[in-house]
Amino acid sequence: MSKFVSLHEAISANVNDGDTVALEGFTHLIPMAAGHEIIRQRKRDLTAVRLTPDLIYDQLIGAGCVKKLIFSWGGNPGVGSLHRFRDAYQNGWPRKISIEEHTHAGLTNRYVAGASGMPFAVLRGYFGSDLMENTENIATIDSPFDEQKILAVAAINPDVTIIHAQQADRKGNVMAWGITGSSKEAVFAAKRVVVTVEEHVESFTPKFNSIIIPEALISHIAVVPRGAWPSYASGYYERDNDAYIAWDDIAKERESFSQWLEQEIYAKSSDALQGSGA
Amino acid sequence: MSKFVSLHEAISANVNDGDTVALEGFTHLIPMAAGHEIIRQRKRDLTAVRLTPDLIYDQLIGAGCVKKLIFSWGGNPGVGSLHRFRDAYQNGWPRKISIEEHTHAGLTNRYVAGASGMPFAVLRGYFGSDLMENTENIATIDSPFDEQKILAVAAINPDVTIIHAQQADRKGNVMAWGITGSSKEAVFAAKRVVVTVEEHVESFTPKFNSIIIPEALISHIAVVPRGAWPSYASGYYERDNDAYIAWDDIAKERESFSQWLEQEIYAKSSDALQGSGA
Amino acid sequence: MAISEINRAGSSSEPEKSPWNSNEMMTIAAARTLRDGMICFVGIGIPSTAAILAKATHAPNLFLIYESGTVNTNPQKLPLSIGDGELANHALSVVGMPEIFNYWLQPGRIDMGFLGAAQIDRFANINTTFIGESYESPKVRLPGAGGATEIAGACKDVIIIIKQTTRTFVPKIDFITSLGFGDGPGSREKNNLIGNGPKYVITDLGILEPDVSSKELVLTSLHPGVSVEQVLANTGWDLKVAKDLKESAAPTPAELERVRALVATSSRKKS
Amino acid sequence: MAISEINRAGSSSEPEKSPWNSNEMMTIAAARTLRDGMICFVGIGIPSTAAILAKATHAPNLFLIYESGTVNTNPQKLPLSIGDGELANHALSVVGMPEIFNYWLQPGRIDMGFLGAAQIDRFANINTTFIGESYESPKVRLPGAGGATEIAGACKDVIIIIKQTTRTFVPKIDFITSLGFGDGPGSREKNNLIGNGPKYVITDLGILEPDVSSKELVLTSLHPGVSVEQVLANTGWDLKVAKDLKESAAPTPAELERVRALVATSSRKKS
């Protein structure tokens, strides 16, 4: 029953061409190394879901892995645009991608509905926004108890959700602490779950503001120290703001991006880069 | 801005005749002392909401405070029936009460809807049960995205929610740890919130499996050591199972109950009994 | 029907004295249905005893969830209440009830749920709400649904544990708190339920299972020392008996020892 | 209209050199609108600086929530990202985003929300989605809604912070990401929004507030050194000016010192 595998195996066993994948983590604990491995394994036609498709999805999109992006805020936080996303969406390079655009509240509730095994969740959202006319998977419904109009968002159930966390214990339970965003819901909503962790510990020292993902929900775990870099892992390392700024230059031109892709992703093996589980 | 008041003041300032009140806490951290103070202040015509109306609501009902009970499991856990509830519901002593009966999933989601400021929440619940025909505030709705029938429960927004917790800090934030049931949602759903606590501390030592209720949500706090007795407060005292068993005899007859009411509630002042905040 | 009348005329006397009591037999029979690694939604009483017994014997990785919010708990003593400190202190984590009901139970993540009942009918529909003529004027008011309705609806499989008498095994239950198979095949689907429904009804006399096609309960196993006649005499309808009726294996000394040790940990006993 | 044409013909030159820059003035003006004890939903950049400044000066009990899940946080440095460790480490608690959006924001629990925008119109509707002719083929694709749509909908009051130019203050925005007052009175109600809508639009030139009855933005305060003509020249519609137009108080040395100290903590600056 070993759930602990190499990053290579975790991705190859769980991510298939055409899958709907959610790599979650909000600013904190973004599973960057797992994203790189998806690129390295040249997965194609993914529907990529994520509240904030920052660097991680700019890279996946630029590498041609993504056919559709489902998101609620797309930018390089504090820096600017996602050039690879814009190039794909506006110019079709390296391939045309479609988008389905939500609000944070809406996409979070799509995960909530998925986690709950419901066809939809309800919120008071999107109202007044032109997103109402441009976004799939939302609908207005009437309250059965009063005169209110309410917004329903369809459940999203990713084929695989991938998150990064600080620790896995001996049995394969995972603990993440600090900001976890909508990760818990994305995990509960998924058919398969991959977790990369900073550290494999014998047992947890319980942490305040932590969430526990029981091993029963997890398909595979890969130990990938610094697997969230250049985002951060509270208790392990800080956010590398310079890397976010540097990305702007790398991603601006197809050539510099392609060079990055070649040198930093394809030329490296996942094991050499991030270490492997055991 | 002192939120710290005596139990007497916390109840008199927040519980009015005719209010909808929710005293939550699931087996653990049941605000028993607050319930006693409501009896002592002879509040009337309350709509009393609680998943498990165990001893605490048997006492409120027997004392004539309640006109309607909204609940999902009514019994003395591990012991038997709630005699005062049955006597009121079936015989109208000391007054007739009406009931609105849910499932745990349903009533929890009524709190969730209330906490969310929504008119309703959705679940896959009640289906197949005769509760469907006997319970108010539920309705079947169609999914706007597929063919599924879904159950909607109306929001509940208590006029006041009362919970017991282990600690309040200097600023009036509250921390409860261990089993908290649906307390967080009952608090978020309420117009006013009263918390009784075991202890007033300078600052919290964060605990695993804890919830924090920020002071901004709280109307008043009373320091009431052993305020959950005979239920328990993790880290402070254990559940007094004998008291639950003893209740069966006390509650069985109107006379023994009336005697208990006189001696244990009316004859005692809240301050003498539970100590007061400062 | 004539046969059932005759059957029902049979004696309802106690099984002859055996070295175990009927609670122990029910507990052990329930424990044996659990496979290692299952996610179980557990209640207080025999379900807890059975689950802890299974975890201590053949299913060490049984994953126990209680509606109070304790996830993957590993109680060392028998919990007395659904929110016992014992459950919280030995849990992987403790979460709020919305997470338990909405994220764990509702999506069908639970392999096996346990239910008790005051009444059960031939389609394993159960009543824990009231006994009597009407909801408004019950003869006996019971605690109600609690988690049962959605446990019955959403768990992949359900075990019902109930003592078998003509008062509990009735032709028509007074109130359907939780649906078993409704009025037969297709009822669960019509009622939007995603779980498979009751898999075993474990009583003090034997084990009943729903017929694959009719969904009606069939006696499939007798506990040692119990006769078919006894079972039929304690059933309020013409209970079908499986052609390949089995006898439940007697409790092993190891099982009995564990169960008794567990029950002895219950501080409830001291009163 | 003739008047506005004339106004727009006015110079768009920079205000004369003042001892503060326009970001500092915007920050300080925003901070001053916050009252002690308010619950504020804060974003990165000027909103954070303003909120931390207010907390350090006149509103020590300001209750700050960030969409990333940090509740009642008290950052000592300027956070660079919405999920900065600084925010988590100094928070009363950190919760999941469903709790932030469903339990905190949606019910109208937030007193004041902050928004930025790429475009704004006379009814304070704002666009953060794209610039151009069509959603499918934008000229410039912007990040999108994030939390903005529901912040605009549900907070009791909203502050919009935006630099004032004819590119940002436009007659018609290309996409309504978040509703201000729609097309005037009644629009918010028609759209099921529970909050009051934008209360202040704070720019580098002054402060605009919605007219009580028409809901159209009116210039109510000029920052020191700014003329009405400048403001009109930097607004893409015939902006109304309040009869009792005020001048914003100049930043005090203490305010400026605090803001600069805060901005200096930003490690973003080192790059």
Give the neighbours of chain B: at least 3 Cβ pairs within 8 Å: A, C, D
Q: Which of residues 66-125 of B touch D (CB under 8 A)?
A: 115-118
What's the confidence (pLDDT) of residue D45? 87
Portion of chain A with pLDDT greater than 90, in percent? 93
C67 given a catalytic annotation: yes
**Partners of D207 in beta bridges:** D202, D221
**In this predicted structure, which of A213-222, A253-262, D238-247, D262-271 has the lowest mean pLDDT?**
D262-271
Structure tokens at D121: 């119109």
Nearest neighbour of B214 by CB, restricted to D71, D108, D154: D71
Give per-residue burial for C111-131: e unless 16+ CB within 10 Å, then b.
bbbbbbbbbbbbbbbbbbbbb
Cβ neighbours of C92 in A, within 8 Å: 173, 212, 214
Q: Where are the beta strands (DSSP E) in chain B?
A: 20-23, 46-49, 66-71, 98-101, 120-123, 138-142, 149-154, 160-168, 174-177, 192-200, 210-213, 220-223
Alpha helices in C157-251 (DSSP H): 187-190, 228-233
Query: Which chain C residue is nearest to residue A185, measuring alpha carbons?
Result: C103
Average pLDDT (A195-209) is 95
| Closest Cα in chain D, distance from residue A67 (Å) | 15
The whole-number pLDDT of residue D10 equals 36
Question: Which residues in D lie closer than 8 A to residue B190 (C-beta atoms)?
Answer: none
pLDDT band at D1 (very low <50, low <70, confident <90, very high): very low
**Cβ B212–D106 below 8 Å, yes or no?**
no
Locate C67 and state its tokens.
């509606």
Torsion of CA A99, A104, A109, A111, to 10 degrees: 60
**Which residues touch C253 (CB under 8 Å, ≥6 apart)?**
none
Summarize pLDDT for B104-123 with one digit per residue, the tens: 999 999 999 999 999 999 99
The sign one gets for the Cα dihedral A106, A110, A111, A117 is positive
Quick: pLDDT tens for B150-209: 999 999 999 999 999 999 999 999 999 999 999 999 999 999 999 999 999 999 998 889
Contact A152 B146 (CB under 8 A): no
Considering only alpha carbons, which residue of chain B is nearest residue D73? B214
**Average of per-residue pLDDT across A225-243:** 96
How do residues D82-125 score in pLDDT, each as one tens digit? Answer: 888 889 999 999 999 999 999 999 999 999 999 999 999 999 99
Residue C10 — pLDDT band, cuts 50, 70, 90?
very low
Please give the pLDDT value at position D247: 97
Asked if B128 lies within 8 A of C268 by C-beta distance, the reply is: no
Q: Give the span between the Cα atoms of D122 and D240, in whole angstroms.
A: 9
Residue tagged active-site, from D5, D16, D67, D247: D67
pLDDT at B271: 62
Query: Containing H/E element for D186?
Result: none
Residue D12: band (very low, low, confident or very high) from pLDDT cuts 50, 70, 90: very low
In this complex, do D71 and B212 lie within 8 Å of one another by their Cβ atoms? Answer: yes
Q: For chain B, percent helix, then strand, then coil, each to nearest 5?
A: 30, 25, 40
User: What's chain A's average pLDDT?
Assistant: 95
Rg (CA), chain C: 18
CA distance C81 to chain B (A): 6
Q: What angle do CA A241, A242, A244 make, to 5 degrees?
A: 65
Mean pLDDT of A25-51: 98
Q: What angle do CA B125, B129, B135 make, to 5 degrees?
A: 80
Can you tell me the distance from the alpha carbon of B121 to that of B106, in angstroms, rounded to the nearest whole number? 9
pLDDT at D109: 98
Chains A, C: CB pairs < 8 Å: 30
Question: Which of C24, C67, C216, C255 does the annotation list as catalytic?
Answer: C67
Interchain CB contact of A191 with C (< 8 Å): no
pLDDT at A18 over 50: yes
Q: What is the pLDDT, as a whole number, of residue C18?
A: 76
Given a cut of 80, is residue C109 above it in pLDDT?
Answer: yes
Task: Please write the tens of the pLDDT for every residue from B10-52.
Answer: 999 999 999 999 999 999 999 999 999 999 999 999 999 999 9
pLDDT value of position C82: 84
With vertex at residue A212, the alpha carbon angle to CA C56 and CA B77, rounded to the nearest 5 degrees, is 55
pLDDT tens readout for residues B198-257: 999 999 998 889 999 999 999 999 999 999 999 999 999 999 999 999 999 999 999 999
Percent of residues, chain D, with pLDDT higher than 70: 92
What's the token pair of residue D2?
A: 């003739």
Which residues of D lie inside 8 Å of B (Cβ-Cβ)? 39, 63, 71-72, 92-93, 102-103, 106-109, 154, 194
How far does B251 lie from chain A, in Å, by closest CA? Answer: 38
Mean pLDDT score, C165-171: 98
- Going by pLDDT thresholds of 50, 70 and 90, the confidence category of residue D26 is very high
| D17 — pLDDT class (breaks 50, 70, 90) | low
Tell me the per-residue pLDDT of A52-91, one tens digit each, with 9 for 90 and over.
Answer: 999 999 999 999 999 999 999 999 998 999 999 999 999 9
pLDDT in tens, C35-61: 999 999 998 889 999 999 999 999 999
Banded pLDDT at D234 (limits 50, 70, 90): very high
Contacts of B127 in chain C (CB under 8 A): 149, 153, 179, 191-193
Instruction: Write the ipTM.
Output: 0.95
Which of C64, C92, C111, C156 to substitute to test the interface with A, most A CBs within 10 Å?
A: C92
pLDDT band at A272 (very low <50, low <70, confident <90, very high): low
Q: Are strands C130-131 and D130-131 parallel, antiparallel or unpaired?
A: unpaired
**B70-78: average pLDDT:** 95
Burial class (CB in 10 A: 0-12, 13-18, 19+), C269: exposed
What mean pLDDT value characterizes chain D?
A: 91
- Residues of B at the A interface, defined by Cβ within 8 angstroms: 116-124, 137, 139, 141, 143-146, 148, 150, 152, 154-155, 206-210
Say if residue B272's pLDDT is above 60. Answer: no
- Please tell me which chains touch D, using 3 or more CB pairs under 8 Å as the contact test: A, B
Mean pLDDT to the nearest integer, D73-77:
93
- Interfacial residues of A (vs B; Cβ cutoff 8 Å): 116-124, 137, 139, 141, 143-146, 148, 150, 152, 154-155, 206-210
Q: State the angle between helix axes of B32-40 and B55-62 in degrees (0 to 180), rounded to the nearest 10.
A: 0
pLDDT of residue C9: 34
Say if the Cβ atoms of A124 and B118 lie within 8 Å.
yes
Q: So what's the pLDDT on residue D16?
A: 52
Answer whether C92 sits within 8 Å of A117, measured CB to CB: no
CA distance A43 to chain B (A): 29
Give me the pLDDT at residue C6, please.
32
Mutate to test the interface with B, among D102, D105, D111, D112 (most CBs of B within 10 A): D102
Q: Name which of A162, A115, A213 is nearest A15 in CA terms.
A: A162
